[in-house]
Amino acid sequence: MKLGFSAADESFRGECAEWLQGQLSGAFADIKGIPNLVAKVERRKEWEQQLAAYRWSCIGWPAAWGGRDATLSQQVIFAEEYARAGAPGRINHIGVELAGPTVLAFGSEAQKARYLPGIAGGTAIWCQGFSEPNAGSDLANVRTKARLEGAKSQREWVVDGQKVWTSLAHFSDFIFVIARSEEGSRGPRGLSFLLMDMNQPGIEVRPIRQMNGEAEFNETFMTDARCPADAMLGAAGEGWKVAMALLAFERGVSTLAQQMGFRNELDAIIAAARANGQAADPVVRQRIARAEIGLRLMRYGAMRMLSNTDVAAIDGAALTYKIQWATWRRNLGELAMDVLGQAGEIAEGPGYEWSMLPNLYLFSRSDTIYGGTNQIQRNLIAERGLGLPREPRGDL
Amino acid sequence: MEFAFTEDQVMIAETVRAFFADNATSARTRAAMAADGIDDELWSAFASDLGLAGVAVPDTYGGAGLGMVELALVAEAAGAHVAALPLLGQAMCAQAIASGGCEARKSEWLPRLAAGQMVGTWAWAEKVEANDGRLSGTFRFVPHGAAAEVLVVAAGKESWLIDPSGDGVTITAHVTMDQTRPLATVVLDRAPAEALADGKAAIAGAQSIGWICLAAEALGGAQACLDRTVAFSRDRIQFGRPVGSFQAYKHRLADMMIEIEQARSAVYWAACAVDEGSEEAMLALHAAKSFCADTFTMCAGNMIQLHGGIGFTWEHDAHLFFKRARSITSMLGNGDWHREEVAQMIVGEQAA
């Protein structure tokens, strides 16, 4: 057990830091430190391509597909330096962290050649089509239908249905979808995992305005939407397995980059507390200390997840990670507003737009819902982690 | 960077887990609770068969020469059975001497402490009077104080070695809520005292190892509360179903696991940080002690609630965990104190 990094790792750190800081004080200085995930989309697409040009877009991938075969330590270091340099959130994080690893794990050589270069090259932005109006916590209750049509040489999937909470769909090039491909099937059986082009007449995207005023999520309507028959990962009817494997990638090294964002938010609260005198309040100090401790434990929890090579075992740190960070961040939002007081309720500009901390307060209410609510997380922890009996289902 | 146990560490963990599971039985622990809070047979097997009474004592002085990670593995396994052992005092006493003693004192005391030939403990007072090699003062809440055969006491920035059987030493054992680690009051009245060469280093060493020991015990205890309650919840049938299938019940168990996983990160982060001399070590120690104590308290309380009436009985072991958790929470600085230390590091200044 060892926390420190080797001399070689530290020299890699220097290399990362130098390149990142050079870019973000030079050609990409205009997108340094922007917190909003949907701001300056075009510039951030260019940033993805710049990362790719210098082979920094997906360093954990095999070199053959545009990565660097980076070790775990190197990936950790890159994530840390990326955030330290103030680089913006990855607009293609769904492509790089979810779609790409899933194609690497389940795709044929032909599929890898078709999809990976666009992700690694920063030219194909991806989004995720899982949730539906009636498939939220009960995700397997997917009703979007897929059927094969056409002559043998030109067979394609035809997809009809509605997806919801599709982050970044309005500027994505591809979407991965779970759709019911076996008529009459129910639950996790009979679903297929399809990779679809967003730029087609059968797909319509409508933004959903959130309680913080922004519109990061969308509804995605599919009416006779199409993709080739072989644009499918895993076997037909076995898409659930692929979807579940994909969700496991969400707990990868990217969690460390996410934590650096949390670090910035906590630092902003500490700075605000110093500025307005709240820093002397013993109760506020206790809450800040708890937040600091929680953040550190998140980091070392992630380190445990990443260092554990025994992927077969359901690791406790991995299973509890989502609810841990989501709850921590929701509490952080409350702390932020308690520190700011009523000043936090006044928008800075003329529009309904919020600076980092009030926005954290509002946005963090989604953290405990998306990607599996806290209640669903507790079910998973109890049933998979502790082996408790399932709640009997109300199957209709 | 490799935040996973080495093969040797896994082996130590398996060995100590099996040892305590086999030997630190409820019946034996309860027998010790009725006496001085030490299961003598367990202690001598631990010291001689396992050779782990001085797990972190350097091997040149007869110890196992291992680090805080290994000490934490031992304390975690002991804590899982609320073992009636003087682990905490022994570790703090030995570490105080190892960190602040001169060569002669180390050679004199460490081999005997590491072999478990004598029981040591550590005590703290706000104020003492020291004159001509004699010390006066009152030291309260000393763990296993009445059983100790050697004492390191500290006040301010100084530390002294005291012979508990010597002149001017009065030790009063107390009936203590946690009977597996009874507390005593040590009163010194011009008692012969030998100052350690570097009293401040002795205090720092003793506190570090003490915080890790308590945090790791709390982790092991919390995990045991969860494991035992999970086992109960699968067997106990109400309304025609195992009670563990009800969400109101299983979500509380899930909450325990969420805290325990963080506590596990805290203990081994702190242990590693101390072993590696990291800049984060103090922050990690305060985090680990406060977080793990809170986790254990929450889990032990849930254990009682989720067992229903049987969990409130003397016969059931739930109260042993509950009382140990309470003891750990207040010992060596409560949660608020540790968190204020963290606040001073990251926010700066002092509370108003």
Is B47's pLDDT higher than 70? Answer: yes
Phi, psi of A108, deg, nearest 5: -75, 170
Question: Residues 54..83 of B with a Cβ closer than 8 Å to A: which?
Answer: 69
Question: Domain extents for chain A?
Answer: 7-91, 126-241, 251-385
- Range from A77-81, A193-197, B59-63 carrying the lowest mean pLDDT: A77-81
Q: B-chain residues within 8 Å CB-CB of A325? A: none
Is-contact A294 A300, C-beta < 8 A? no
Mean pLDDT, all residues of chain B: 97
Give the three-state DSSP class for A35. coil
How much is the average pLDDT of B268-289? 97
Closest-CA residue of A relative to B246 is: A391
Read off the pLDDT of residues A194-251 as tens digits, 9 standing for 90 and up: 999 999 999 999 999 999 998 889 999 999 999 999 999 999 999 999 999 888 777 7
B300 to chain A, any CB pair closer than 8 A? The answer is no
> What's the pLDDT band for A308 if we cut at 50, 70, 90?
confident
Is-contact A279 A273, C-beta < 8 A? yes
For residue B166, what are the contacts with CB-CB under 8 A and spacing of at least 6?
A: B191, B192
Nearest neighbour of A5 by CB, restricted to B1, B247, B340: B1
Of A264, A259, A243, A366, which Cα lies nearest the Cα of A305?
A259
- The CATH homologous superfamily to which domain A251-385 belongs is Butyryl-CoA Dehydrogenase, subunit A, domain 3 (1.20.140.10)
> What's the pLDDT band for A309 if we cut at 50, 70, 90?
low
CA distance A309 to A304: 10
Distance between first and last Cα of chain B: 40
Is-contact A126 A94, C-beta < 8 A? yes
H/E run at residue B346: helix B335-346
Taking the CA of residue B247 and the nearest CA in chain A, the distance in Å comes to 7
Question: Residues 192..251 of B with a Cβ closer than 8 Å to A: which?
Answer: 226, 230, 233-234, 241-242, 244-247, 250-251
Question: Residues 278..297 of B with a Cβ closer than 8 Å to A: which?
Answer: 278, 280, 283-284, 287, 290-291
Of B58, B61, B59, B23, which Cα lies nearest the Cα of B43?
B23
Buried b (16+ CB within 10 A) or exposed e, B117-138: eebbbbbbbeebebeeebbbbe
How much is the average pLDDT of A111-115? 98
Question: Cα–Cα distances in Å, from A31 out to A27, A38, A384, B16?
Answer: 9, 12, 42, 54
pLDDT the model gives residue A186 = 93
**Cβ of A300 and B3 within 8 Å?**
yes
Q: A-chain residues within 8 Å CB-CB of B347? A: 270, 273-274, 279, 285, 288
The encoded tokens of residue B324 equal 């140990």
Closest-CA residue of B relative to A316 is: B261
How much is the average pLDDT of B124-128? 96
Of residues A46, A182, A219, A250, which has the active-site annotation?
A250
A250 part of the active site: yes
Is B90's pLDDT higher than 90? Answer: yes
Name the amino acid, one letter, at A173: D
Altogether, the residues listed in chain A come to a count of 396
Of B142, B194, B192, which Cα lies nearest the Cα of B169?
B192
> What's the pLDDT band for A312 if we cut at 50, 70, 90?
very low
pLDDT the model gives residue A395 = 64
pLDDT the model gives residue A249 = 78
B328 to chain A, any CB pair closer than 8 A? The answer is no
As a whole-number percent, the residues of chain A with pLDDT over 90 amount to 79
How much is the average pLDDT of A341-359? 94
How much is the average pLDDT of B272-277? 97
Nearest neighbour of B347 by CB, restricted to A285, A294, A381: A285
Taking the CA of residue A71 and the nearest CA in chain B, the distance in Å comes to 10
CA distance A87 to A90: 8
- Beta-bridged to residue B161, according to DSSP, are B152, B194
B126 to chain A, any CB pair closer than 8 A? The answer is no
Q: Name the CA dihedral angle for A224, A225, A227, A228, rounded to a multiple of 10 degrees.
A: 10
Closest-CA residue of A relative to B281 is: A3
Q: What are the structural domains of chain B?
A: 201-346 (1.20.140.10)
Half-sphere exposure of A393 (CA within 13 A, CB side): 5
How much is the average pLDDT of A272-288? 97
Question: In this structure, which CATH number among 3.40.50.970, 2.40.110.10, 1.10.10.10, 3.30.70.120 belongs to the domain A126-241?
Answer: 2.40.110.10
Q: Name the CA dihedral angle for B150, B156, B158, B161, rounded to a multiple of 10 degrees.
A: -10
Q: Name the CA dihedral angle for B282, B284, B285, B286, rounded to a multiple of 10 degrees.
A: 90
Question: Cα–Cα distances in Å, from B33 out to A107, A281, B26, B29, B36?
Answer: 62, 43, 10, 6, 7
Read off the pLDDT of residues A322-336 as tens digits, 9 standing for 90 and up: 999 999 999 999 999
Rounded to an integer, what is the distance from CA A314 to the centroid of its chain? 21
Closest-CA residue of B relative to A383 is: B250
Nearest neighbour of B351 by CB, restricted to A282, A303, A382: A282
pLDDT the model gives residue A318 = 85
- Range from A82-91, B111-120, B126-135, B314-323 carrying the lowest mean pLDDT: A82-91
How does strand B120-124 pair with strand B150-155?
A: parallel
CA distance A94 to A75: 17
Q: Do the domains spanning A126-241 and A251-385 agree at the CATH topology level? A: no
Mean pLDDT, all residues of chain A: 93
> What's the pLDDT band for B2 if we cut at 50, 70, 90?
confident
How much is the average pLDDT of A168-176? 95
How much is the average pLDDT of A167-193? 96
